[in-house]
Structure 1
Amino acid sequence: MRRMRNLFSMILLLVCLLVTVSAWAMPPEDGIYEKKDGSGNVTGRMFIITLRGKASETQEGFTMETSPGAPIIAMQALDGNGNVTEELATCYSWKTDTAGAGETGIRLRGETLQNAMQKYKKFTPEVFSTAFGQQVEFGFVNEGRANAYNCSDALNGEYVRNSSATNYYPLSVLLFVYEKTLNSQAFLNRGIAANTYSLSDEQEAGPWHGDYYVLNVSNQDRQDMWTVTAEKNLRIVMENHNRDYHFLFVRNNYHGDPSWVGITWGAFTGEAMTSVNALYLHRHITVFAPEMLENPDTFIRLTDFYSGEGPDAVTTNAMAVLVPEGNDTMRLGHANISDTGTIQFYKEMGRAEIKGEGVRIREEPNTNCAILGEKDTGYPLTVLGFVKEPGEKYGTYKWAKVQLDDGTVGYVSGQFIRGIDTPFD
């Protein structure tokens, strides 16, 4: 009996230890933490955000390196008037159950911070890394509290979580996420410079103006310029490169309450297609056709075309929803927005059927290839998207890539497909 009691006591002790360690090892709670002086004035803020979205490859071939369970920590030091005097952002890495470090990150301070807070002023964030013998440290011993060490005199200290705080995430979070995603070599001291940025805005952003960060980006090793747009609550980060909009990071359920969709179309105007328009089209798709975004490499391309002449001429902005396909792209849908405000969105994937008799299913998207079979009007199939003929760089997406119910994949001329390509209501 005594042996049984001892065994039970050991099991109970082990369970308690496991529960305790599990509680200690819980990740820091997302939210906004504040540091105050003796008079109760806020002298610093700490923002903790766990990225739970999906990342995708971009044209440069890099992938998002942040992951669930690896919170990003951003910090701000404030002066007596509440002005930001320093910012820091890093990715938290556990060292013990209650403490960890930021091994790579960026800083904004001095003239760099001043330029970062003004529109159209160029700045390059200061990069720190263990590769340079630098890191910052954090402790999370007590729930709702955080301690910062080796950050700076202004940033070090104890922070307490304020559940009622509603501040936007600071610019340093976006800068760190983007640098870590597409310029990670800069953190490894491999001769790669950090990107150069300038804060911009889009005057045509309508009622949502002010809720986004819009950054112009360049790099001394790349002879071009591009932009990054993100909601200030960091639900989505998007890169615009040569009018291709790549969605680098999208948090789960970022569209929130879909009732906003009724006013979304008000953001689209023919006079000024902006990055924000691409964001709203993307968000619209998440509500009405989320299957179009299952491939994380899905992106939106903006083009223009014209019809009519003289006073009857109409400019139409077209936005194609594309995914990489071999050496080219496959179109999943498109939106046409005229300068009169008329908008049509077309989905070009999903269940459909054959229209015509003896329609040929081909092995490749051209007429000089093997025929897999012939089908008649009403034959059901799944359209995966539309592609161009190989080698037609500026051709039209006239071939439907289809999958038959037996799993066969082939191509059908788009004129013989019906049941999709219907404007959303």
Structure 2
Amino acid sequence: MHIIDDLAERGLLQQTTDDQGLRNHLNENVVTLYCGFDPTADSLHIGHLLPLTLLKRFQQYGHRPLALIGGGTGLIGDPSGRSTERSLNSADVVKGFTEQIQQQIERIIEFKSDGSNGAVKNNHDWLASLTFIEMLRDVGKHFGINYMLSKDSVTSRLEQGLSFTEFSYMILQSIDFKNLYEKENCSLQIGGSDQWGNITAGMELIRRTRSEQQEEEADVYGLTVPLITKSDGTKFGKTAGGAVWLDPEKTSPYEFYQFWINTDDRDVIRFLKFFTFLSLEEIDQLEKELEKAPEKRMPHKRLAEEMTKLVHGEEALKQAEKITEALFSGDIKSLNAEEIEQGFKDVPSVTIDEKESGLIDLLVTANISSSKRQAREDIKNGAVYINGERKQDLAYHLTVEDRLDDRFTIVRRGKKKYFLIRFES
């Protein structure tokens, strides 16, 4: 199957600048392509996974992807898809973000040390040395104001206000494409549909500068993927706790796994096509499983498995699955301290230093029960569990034996209300 057909069948094709020309170009060449990622935070989030997996998909078809980190453009800020201007970070902060993002990209896309199958690049390497006069004389003269004003990334911001800094972003991204074309033989830029104007501007700059040098017309292309929406109308990649990050310190592998496994039934097959490298035939089979036995949630589990393994690795996937199973079965004692930290990251917690504590007092101290009277009722009614075991003895005292890894006790009240008790060492 041609990669363009694969993308189309997966619903990943929004726009191309020349569909047939691009097909022929990909058939006849090992194509170097790129996508940019601006370091606006210390981690990428799952909204970046679509372009990342797209680069990896092209690599699997034998092409050469470049993941371009915007160490230079990240100092400016892309106005595309935004209603307000970004806050500008210092050069040191952007440099730190860049290093962390590079590590994340290299965990998802495997690059050989010689760069033959792709690489991570940083546009700070060429933009930082560009003088303002050079940009105006050599680049700016190729950008008509009317042309720039016609781009969606600009027109959508004119009423709210657009600074010259953000207005210039299109020129900087165009310089990126031109530089990668000349230095890396990069002939294809990909991105989200909101990047269409920036992509076509870069193509136009390459063609104009080559025309100046009286060379043959450049064979360059652009391709965009759709912006992801969820069937329930909520924004993709957002949870009650905020964004879903690729950094395990910001979003644990367990939380990451849970995000995917809780995908809406209406979205799960679409997301399998978008994000995973499963064959379309296997995804069709999973869709049939969903129709036949929706309660088993087989596509959801497969989606969670594939994405957690891709981003965090096999061991992290096993750990996320273990936590999930322990919480489902109530076998809390099977978890170690790290797994408890992940699985109970967002539940109410309290730190105490007592070596021994009466259960009634503990329930009140930790705000698990509203009063001692309520605590007694909860215990007598069998609503209180310590590390997964029901406790109905009003005189029960917690001891060191009730501590997991000598650090935690998990209290459950009712079916789903968990509380984490931390013990000071």
The question of a shared fold, defined as TM-score above 0.5 by the shorter chain, is answered with no
The structure with higher relative contact order (CA 8 Å, sep 6+) is: 2
Greater helix share, 1 or 2? 2
Q: Could you tell me the TM-score, scaled by structure 1's length?
A: 0.30
Q: Hey, which of these two has a bigger chunk of strand by percent?
A: 1
